[in-house]
Amino acid sequence: MQRSRKALRQALLALVEEKSYEQISVREIATRAGLSFPTFYRQFPTKEALMDDIAAEEIRELLAITLPLMDQRDTQVSSLAICNFVMERKTLWRTLLTTGATATLREEFIARAREIGLSHPRINPGLPLDLMSAFVVGGIFEILSWWLRQSVFIPGETIAQLLDTLVLKPSAQRLKIEFPAGLSSCNLEQN
């Protein structure tokens, strides 16, 4: 079962390198994977579900690479690691950020960011974790989406500077925010 899932993932990734996602059929994916057409449907209900699975795996891999760097609090190095990771998989990430998988990619990233926030010391414990996670992930995704849509080449170092300046560095700064009386960040996180 795991081998079939892996073969289907690899087949879709190979096909995305050759043609647009919209042009790829389930039958092509199964054939490329060396599996029967019904085997595909035993693993995934749709082509979109397979892409969602790939999106979740990409986020896990991205965080496995960048999390140790973020623990060092060097936002510039983290920004560059994110850009290098995406650039190595440019076609896939362009597809992920322009198909229905974007929502899964974003949700997976937010969920992992929230888990990290709960398991690591927080720089800004007064800020609602759900809001902070969504803000950081949203900023990263907007910048990456914009980058991958450009018709001219923009070096990863330039995008890393944007990520660092607009998203990571500000989110890593200590802030003193006072909530109205009776309203705490804990109340906000529960709602």
Q: CATH 1.10.357: which residues of the chain?
A: 48-190
Given a contact cutoff of 8 angstroms between Cβ atoms, the answer to whether 97 and 45 are in contact is no
pLDDT for the residue 190: 41
pLDDT for the residue 115: 82
Report the topology of domain 2-45: Arc Repressor Mutant, subunit A (1.10.10)
Spatial neighbors of 61 by CB under 8 A, at least 6 apart, are: 85
Q: CATH 1.10.10: which residues of the chain?
A: 2-45
pLDDT for the residue 73: 64
pLDDT for the residue 155: 96
pLDDT for the residue 42: 93
pLDDT for the residue 144: 93
Q: From first to last of the 191 residues of the chain, give the pLDDT tens digit.
A: 788 899 999 999 999 889 988 899 999 999 999 999 899 999 999 999 999 899 888 888 888 887 766 655 678 888 999 999 999 999 889 888 877 677 878 888 888 888 877 777 667 777 777 888 888 888 998 999 999 989 999 999 999 999 999 988 887 766 666 655 554 444 444 44
pLDDT for the residue 174: 65
pLDDT for the residue 177: 61
The rounded distance, in Å, linking the Cα atoms of 120 and 111 is: 14
Q: Is 1.10.1060 the CATH classification of the domain at 48-190? A: no
User: Cα torsion for 190, 137, 104, 80, to the nearest 10°?
Assistant: -150
What is the value of pTM for the model shown?
Answer: 0.77
pLDDT for the residue 187: 44
The rounded distance, in Å, linking the Cα atoms of 75 and 63 is: 14
